Amino acid sequence: MFKKSMWYSILVIAFVGFVILANGFYQAILVTTQANPQPTSESAPLESAADLTPSSKNPNTIQMLILGDSVAKGTGDEKSKGFSGYLSEYLKNNTSKEIIADNAGIDGLESTGLLEQLQSHRLEEQLTHTDIILVSIGGNDIRSILTLNSFDKENEFKVRLDRYLSNLKLTFKELRRTNPNSIIIFLGLYNPYEKATNLVDSQLLNSWNFNTQQLVETDGKAIFIPTYDLFKYNTERFVAQDGLHPNSAGYQAISNRISRSLEMIIAGL
Amino acid sequence: MFSLIENEVIKMISKKRLLFVIAILVALISVFAYGQHHSSERIKTQLSQRMGISATTDWHKLADQQLIELKNRLDSPYRDEKDKSALRVRIEQLQYNLDNDINPLEQSAAKFTTKFMEQSIFLFLPLLIIMLASDMVSGESSSGTIKLLLVRNVPRWKVLLSKFLTLIMLEIIVLFFAFVLSEIISGLFFGFGGWNAPVATGFKLVAGKLDTSSVLNVPQWRYTLMVYSLAFFVSFVVGSISFMISVLVRSTAASIGIIMSTLVAGNFISYFLSDWKITRYMFMVNLRLTDYLSGSFQPIEGMTLLFSILVLLGWASASIIISFVYFTKKDILV
């Protein structure tokens, strides 16, 4: 009797299960093969945003172009201003000219991506007329080696650094090809994980910054702005909730530093 | 026919093998659920150490900020159209978490149930199926009871078919228990919710690269259903192959040994011979079907869900044909 009822319940479960699973199987095939089911409607407003960028050089304006990763973009700033906000505010207060800031920062961009972005000539228009170029890149190149063990870390670091430096060299070449006269501000890397970092990691980061600075110096009109020292004992104050990006105060601190370094140059623009 | 299947099922029940499989499931799921619970606790403490206590408890703020960032990113004119659907999917998930007050760091029974099957589809589940399948015929041969089956006035193919259908039913039963047990056991650890949370799927392979342009969110229950359906397909294929071996080989031990070693070998063959194209036609490297859903597969040109399913289907149908032809033709000397 017990076996009989067991047999019936197995039969029922198996039958119902089969129907359900067959249905699921069909859905699984559908979902991986079917064409894009999502509506792509947001192309119209993007066009107009691109149109806003002025096409000719105006003597009464200072144009600023911000390139690079999330830090360039201003990720983490709770006021959503970033450099395009704070730096243009400063410029506005210290010159009589109008400030136009273009922000082309992309979260998660690595040096390879920046180079591709420039080589694709999508930014050609803005690049030719800009007076100041602010670049922040490299953080995403170096970040992922943090999780490696110490042996792999040093090897991988060398590989990444070499790739990064050669990308950077080409990036500068590309920038100078389109715009030989603008001033390039290059941001150094800070360490958002100050509390959880050992000596080796700090040294690697410093050698990364040092190599970057050496390369930036080879360009005659570029300046390397360090941020490492600024953040070292200020991570609590300057790093955003996400534990990685600067917060509003952090962006402001870096912007202050940039404007101090460029006072004379800005006066001459 | 019906009574033949009934007979087979009752045989399987009284052999206690199914009970054994369920016991293994209970033990393993408990261990995994505990492990998951433990590691999620650890991640939380690590996070709160690194980013301050607020990061884990006050996740709303963080998620809000992320959401704003993502929306900004979506509006950026410098972004490729291709990346955008991945962003939209991410936004939907975050929005859901916020709306329903679900901490993304928390596990849920639904997540665990799915994850468990995703992890066991290529080795653990096949092993369970092998335990059931590989003595279905060879067990009768080695104990001699096959004579009693075949002297009855039933054609041989019917005998074999009843065994095969029984196997399919048992596969469903195993999946049913895997689902129910992991839901119940992990529910005790993580709570029983989470079935409506959105899960990203719909990844594609275009020109050798993972293409996220058609990614979309499906509710967790639908995703779980798809995972278990693919798991059923895998167990059907593995079951058919070990069924064939059990027809061909007389001793149960040999039959379990053969199929198990093939399966285990298949798991590292893809590491060693990854650039050798013929390996993609082996059934062992095609078992990770759920990876196509989750987008976590290694992009290999030409390997898609449909390809893997067709390869597996080829193996299964070949094994079924071989088993039937061999079984109806062979001389049985006991």
> What 3-state DSSP class applies to B199?
strand
Closest chain A residue to B54, measured at CA: A241
- B-chain residues near A40 (CB < 8 A): 81, 84-85
**Contact state of A32 with B203 under an 8 Å Cβ cutoff:** yes
Q: Pick from B15, B69, B89, B113 the residue to mutate for testing the A interface (most A CBs within 10 Å).
A: B69
Closest chain A residue to B203, measured at CA: A32
Interface of A with B in 135-194 (CB under 8 A): 193
Predicted pLDDT of residue A53: 40
- B-chain residues near A73 (CB < 8 A): 72, 76
Closest CA to B247 of B174, B157, B314: B157
Between CA A115 and CA A105 the distance in angstroms is 13
Q: Which of A24, A29, A75 sits opposite B69 (nearest CB)?
A: A75
Q: Which amino acid is at B97?
A: N
- A-chain residues near B79 (CB < 8 A): 106
Between CA A27 and CA A47 the distance in angstroms is 37
Asked if B59 and B104 touch (Cβ cutoff 8 Å), the reply is yes
Q: Which of A7, A23, A46 sits opposite B10 (nearest CB)?
A: A7
Predicted pLDDT of residue B54: 54
Predicted pLDDT of residue B63: 76
Q: Which of A32, A34, A38 sits opposite B292 (nearest CB)?
A: A32
DSSP string, A38-81: S---THHHHHHHHHTS--S--TTEEEEEEEESHHHHTTT-TTS-
Predicted pLDDT of residue B295: 73
**Contact state of B201 with A45 under an 8 Å Cβ cutoff:** no
Share of chain A above pLDDT 90, in %: 20
**Contact state of B78 with A117 under an 8 Å Cβ cutoff:** yes
Closest CA to B190 of B199, B200, B182, B179: B182
Which residues, given as ranges, of chain B have pLDDT below 70? 50-58, 76-83, 105, 204-213, 270, 273-275, 296-302, 332-334
In angstroms, how far is CA A216 from the centroid of its own chain? 18
Residue A38 has pLDDT above 70, yes or no: no
User: Does A233 lie at the interface with B, CB-CB under 8 angstroms?
Assistant: no
Between CA B323 and CA B12 the distance in angstroms is 20
Q: Which of B51, B68, B85 sits opposite A38 (nearest CB)?
A: B85
**Contact state of A122 with B78 under an 8 Å Cβ cutoff:** yes
User: Does A78 lie at the interface with B, CB-CB under 8 angstroms?
Assistant: yes
Predicted pLDDT of residue B15: 80
**Please, where are the H alpha helices in chain B?**
2-14, 17-51, 54-57, 59-75, 81-99, 109-120, 124-133, 138-143, 146-150, 156-190, 220-248, 252-272, 290-294, 305-329
**Contact state of B68 with A80 under an 8 Å Cβ cutoff:** yes
Between CA A133 and CA A42 the distance in angstroms is 29
- A-chain residues near B239 (CB < 8 A): none
Asked if B132 and B174 touch (Cβ cutoff 8 Å), the reply is yes
Q: What are phi and psi of B300, to 5 degrees?
A: -120, 130
Q: Pick from B4, B65, B175, B204 the residue to mutate for testing the A interface (most A CBs within 10 Å).
A: B65
> What 3-state DSSP class applies to A187?
strand
Closest chain B residue to A1, measured at CA: B10
pLDDT, tens digit, for every residue of A72-126? 888 888 888 888 888 888 888 888 888 888 888 888 888 988 888 888 888 888 8
pLDDT, tens digit, for every residue of A167-197? 999 999 989 988 888 999 999 999 888 777 7
User: Does A29 lie at the interface with B, CB-CB under 8 angstroms?
Assistant: yes
User: Does A241 lie at the interface with B, CB-CB under 8 angstroms?
Assistant: yes
- A-chain residues near B65 (CB < 8 A): 76, 78, 240-242
* Residue B32, CA atoms < 13 Å, CB-side half-sphere: 26
Closest chain A residue to B215, measured at CA: A36
- A-chain residues near B293 (CB < 8 A): 28, 31-32
Minimal Cα–Cα distance from A8 to chain B, Å?
9
Residue A56 has pLDDT above 50, yes or no: no
Point out which residues pair with A68 in neighbouring strands. Answer: A136
Closest chain B residue to A48, measured at CA: B77
Between CA B143 and CA B132 the distance in angstroms is 16
pLDDT, tens digit, for every residue of B253-305? 888 888 889 888 887 776 776 667 777 788 888 888 888 887 766 656 667 78
Overall average pLDDT of the A4-18 stretch: 86
Asked if A102 and A89 touch (Cβ cutoff 8 Å), the reply is no
| A58-268: CATH, from 3.40.605.10, 3.40.50.300, 3.40.50.1110, 3.40.50.9100 | 3.40.50.1110
Between CA A55 and CA A63 the distance in angstroms is 11
- Which of B116-120's residues contact partners 24+ apart within 8 Å by CB, and which partners? B116/B29, B116/B32, B116/B178, B116/B182, B116/B186, B117/B178, B117/B179, B117/B182, B117/B224, B117/B227, B117/B228, B117/B231, B117/B290, B118/B227, B118/B290, B118/B291, B118/B294, B120/B178, B120/B231
> What 3-state DSSP class applies to A185?
strand
User: Does A38 lie at the interface with B, CB-CB under 8 angstroms?
Assistant: yes
Minimal Cα–Cα distance from A97 to chain B, Å?
26
**Contact state of A40 with B73 under an 8 Å Cβ cutoff:** no
Task: Quote the DSSP letter at residue B297.
Answer: S
- B-chain residues near A45 (CB < 8 A): 75
**Contact state of A32 with B305 under an 8 Å Cβ cutoff:** yes
Predicted pLDDT of residue A225: 93
Mean residue pLDDT of chain B comes to 81
Asked if A186 and A226 touch (Cβ cutoff 8 Å), the reply is no
Can you give the residue ranges of every domain in chain A? Answer: 1-36, 58-268
Rounded (5°) CA angle B89-A251-B72: 20
Residue A104, token pair as written in the block:
């082309």
- B-chain residues near A14 (CB < 8 A): 168-170, 172-173
